[in-house]
Amino acid sequence: MILPQILLPDGMTEMVFAILVTTSFVASLITVAFGIGGGGVMLAVMATLVPPAALIPTHGVIQVGSNLGRALVTLRHIFWPAVPAFALGSLIGAAMGGALVINLPPEWVQIGVGAFVIWSVLGRPPRGVRDWPVVVGAVSSFLTMFFGATGLFVATFTKSQNLPRHAHVATHATLMTVQHGVKSLTFGLLGFAFADWWPFIIVMIAAGFCGTLVGKTLLNRIDDRRFKIALDVILILLSLRLIYSGLRQLFTGA
């Protein structure tokens, strides 16, 4: 495989490029079929292949494209009342996160988010999650400036609305488009050089949209009961992985 050099950011090999593009396709398929999980998968793979300084900003823009495509494909199912307050909270949270000079310890963020999501899945979601989207938007957008993928946290709010599977996917995609869009804008204002990464980002977004179209066919074949079971299982598994990763970093530094 010989790719045009313009598609490859400095230092990225064709093999790494192919792995990341394939991951973008698979991650979007997972998210649209099961409601959650793709952003975390994408972040986990990118964390091993993309320079740390570029990881969160580029992941954010890729997720804007991926979630926007998913929202457009499921546009008529979006639960719009949740969006305005969440968007306001996202602006507040991103501004607070961007203003911090000292980074939050990532291991504590991972443990905290993972534990909260498991509690919300197994127990009854607190009223603050159901009825205060501005708080969810602010907290999740604050965390995403440091942690990257807070789709789990936002999915807890979306799940608490007891929406049908199509509405859950559509609304979650819309909220994540808003959040990642605000985050990407903040990183741009902070001086991240997106120009060097645009060709790569565009290809990743295109691959993600293809995954969305394939995933939608799976979504149409899953009933609401099975969808909710699959969603809960994925949330718990991803949360356990977050907690394990956080504990490992906390006690071993690895």
Q: What is the pLDDT of residues 33-88, one digit of tens each?
A: 776 777 777 877 887 788 877 877 888 899 899 889 889 988 999 999 989 999 99
Q: What integer pLDDT is reported at residue 24 of this predicted model?
A: 92
Q: 101: pLDDT confidence band, cut at 50, 70 and 90? A: very low
Tell me the average pLDDT across 87-116.
76
Four-residue CA torsion sign, 42, 83, 158, 144? positive
The pLDDT of residue 170 is above 80: yes
Q: What integer pLDDT is reported at residue 238 of this predicted model?
A: 77
CB 146 within 8 A of CB 97: yes
Backbone angles phi, psi at 127, to 5 degrees: -60, -30
Q: What integer pLDDT is reported at residue 104 of this predicted model?
A: 60
Q: 123: pLDDT confidence band, cut at 50, 70 and 90? A: low
The angle subtended at Cα 226 by Cα 222 and Cα 232, nearest 5°, is 125
Q: What integer pLDDT is reported at residue 243 of this predicted model?
A: 86
Q: What integer pLDDT is reported at residue 128 of this predicted model?
A: 58
The pLDDT of residue 213 is above 80: yes
The pLDDT of residue 175 is above 90: yes
pTM of the prediction?
A: 0.77
Q: Look at 24-38, 61-75, 207-221 and tell me which has the smallest mean pLDDT.
A: 24-38
Q: What integer pLDDT is reported at residue 191 of this predicted model?
A: 82
Bigger pLDDT: 94 or 224?
Answer: 94
Bigger pLDDT: 112 or 209?
Answer: 209
Tell me the average pLDDT across 133-161.
80
